[in-house]
């Protein structure tokens, strides 16, 4: 989907849109090319993150340099919010918007692009499918996913993937695996790219890849 959208822009259109993404928000207007670029960025961000919690024990993930502050402030503001399955009302109702606004604004200037749009899963045990995905701000994403990781809610995704990986494998087909410019493509069962293939240059901060005996994996976006 993202590749088709990029192809539709053409070389000149993609270059112009990419350049425009660096402009101040007031300069954006309603350029449809920007909408496509932002949608692609949000989709790629979501795909990389889901790959990470599928491949690395979520309790070892560090999403920002301010995880401790984000988590403590979030739980002070939303003590009883059950993060296993969120509802639209908990994020989008009038009362919820006001509570979230007060929380989010505390991180202006601390978390880069804190109010930019991103994708959030409602049910933490499911993937980014249409009926389980909602738009949220980046700081909402960080707050909710940091809490889910620390409170063990994302462990279901990780354990499910481990279970699939440890299942008896079917005999390999005789057809050769697809290759990329850097060699043979590495994919996890189910067709998703492994987090180790992620290019940190494509998402600002980037991913420090898991190493042997690593106790914490950092994924800094801000």
Question: Token pair for residue 61?
Answer: 């993930």
At residue 220, the pLDDT reads 55
> Using CA atoms, how far apart are residues 55 and 53, in angstroms rounded to an integer?
6
Question: Domain map of the chain by residue range?
Answer: 2-162+192-220
Query: Are 61 and 217 within 8 A, CB to CB?
Result: yes
Residue 159's nearest CA partner among 117, 183, 125, 193 is: 125
Mean pLDDT, range 7-33, rounded to an integer: 47
Query: Tokens 């420090």 label which residue?
Result: 208
Closest by CA to 163, choosing from 188, 143, 140, is 188
Q: Give domain 2-162+192-220's CATH number out of 3.40.220.10, 1.10.510.10, 1.10.3560.10, 3.40.50.410.
A: 1.10.3560.10
In this predicted model, what pLDDT tens digit does every residue of 110-131 receive, in sequence order?
A: 999 999 989 999 999 999 999 9
pLDDT at 110: 96
């Amino acid at each position: 989907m993202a590749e088709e959208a990029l192809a539709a822009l053409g070389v000149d259109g993609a270059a112009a849109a990419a350049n425009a993404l660096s402009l101040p928000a007031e300069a954006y207007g309603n350029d449809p090319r920007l909408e496509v670029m932002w949608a692609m960025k949000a989709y790629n961000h979501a795909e990389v993150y889901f790959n990470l919690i599928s491949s690395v024990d979520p309790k070892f993930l560090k999403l920002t340099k301010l995880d401790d502050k984000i988590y403590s402030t979030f739980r002070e503001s939303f003590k009883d919010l059950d993060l296993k399955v969120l509802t639209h009302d908990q994020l989008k109702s009038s009362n919820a918007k006001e509570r979230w606004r007060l929380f989010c604004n505390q991180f202006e200037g601390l978390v880069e692009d804190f109010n930019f749009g991103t994708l959030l899963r409602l049910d933490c045990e499911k993937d980014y499918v249409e009926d389980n995905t909602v738009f949220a701000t980046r700081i909402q994403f960080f707050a909710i996913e940091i809490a889910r990781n620390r409170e063990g809610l994302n462990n279901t995704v990780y354990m499910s993937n481990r279970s699939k990986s440890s299942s008896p494998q079917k005999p390999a087909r005789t057809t050769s695996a697809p290759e990329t410019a850097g060699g043979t493509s590495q994919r996890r069962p189910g067709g998703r790219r492994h987090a180790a293939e992620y290019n940190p240059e494509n998402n600002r901060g980037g991913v420090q890849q898991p190493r042997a005996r690593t106790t914490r994996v950092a994924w800094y976006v801000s």
